[in-house]
A = this chain, B = another copy of it.
């Protein structure tokens, strides 16, 4: 194998060399672990639908009982998903009387889009 340093800027082709670590390490393990929390929250189809329904709801909010029927899921499961979305910073909860109303955290989706660019 031909030796090749990290500062070598040649494009590597078939007859060239490989396995030269780049100078830029990319995302650290800590940054990656932080970013992944949001994507994990988005990694369930029912949670995507929850976000969608909440966003489309009256005044941009919806209560749990609005969300159980369209998803064909039990109430505890919906509460579970909502908790994950709140923990990820995507939804916020406001209790009014017996009901809990969920709404999008302003700017949260835009913040995720920015995270994507920074990857």
Contact = CB atoms under 8 A, between A and B. Distances in A.
Contact of A26 (B11, B33, B49, B117): B49
Contacts of A25: 53, 70
A35 to B, nearest CB: 6
Interface residues of A, number: 53
A109 B99 contact: no
Interface string A1-41: 00000000101111100111110111101001101100110
Q: How many copies does the complex hold?
A: 2
Nearest to A97: B14
Contacts of A9: 58
A22 B51 CA distance: 14
Interface in A58-81: 58-59, 62-63, 65-66, 69-70
11 contacts: A11-B58, A11-B59, A12-B99, A13-B96, A18-B66, A22-B58, A32-B45, A32-B48, A39-B43, A43-B43, A55-B119
